[in-house]
Structure 1
Amino acid sequence: MPGKAKTILMWVVIVFLLYAVIKSPDRAADIVQAIWDVIMGAFASFGQFVQSLIE
């Protein structure tokens, strides 16, 4: 992807995210919380996997 197109796409995504947060902050917070829960669940699962390898 050319540099100019990548920069434009990045700004479009940033503007959209700002619009989404301003328009519905509660919904945006719920989405961030859900993403955080998925990430933390993945790390916890990986930790259990490594722990089971050690035992």
Structure 2
Amino acid sequence: MYGWIWRHLPFGIPGKLFGMLVLIAGAAALLWFYAFPAIDPHLPFNNGQLTE
């Protein structure tokens, strides 16, 4: 899969590196703004209650 993406990105090595950075940043943004907020209520880390 990664080889296919690398072969299909244009503009030589500098363009491929820039394209890969853009793809990685886009994937991180999708996770950060959509996936993580969607699963946040289901994670056990939100229970900040202290019991005695």
Under a length normalisation based on structure 2, what TM-score does the superposition of the two structures give? 0.50
Q: Does structure 1 residue 30 correspond to structure 2 residue 18? A: yes
**Aligned counterpart, 2:7:** 17
- d(CA) in 2 for partners of 1:37 and 1:49? 19
Structure in which a larger fraction of residues adopt helix: 1
Under a length normalisation based on structure 1, what TM-score does the superposition of the two structures give? 0.48
Structure 1 residue ranges without an equivalent (≥5)? 1-13
Q: Does structure 1 residue 50 correspond to structure 2 residue 39? A: yes
Q: Which runs of 4+ in 1 moved over 6 A?
A: none
Identity %: 0
Compute the RMSD of aligned alpha carbons.
Answer: 2.7
Higher relative contact order (CA 8 A, sep 6+): 2
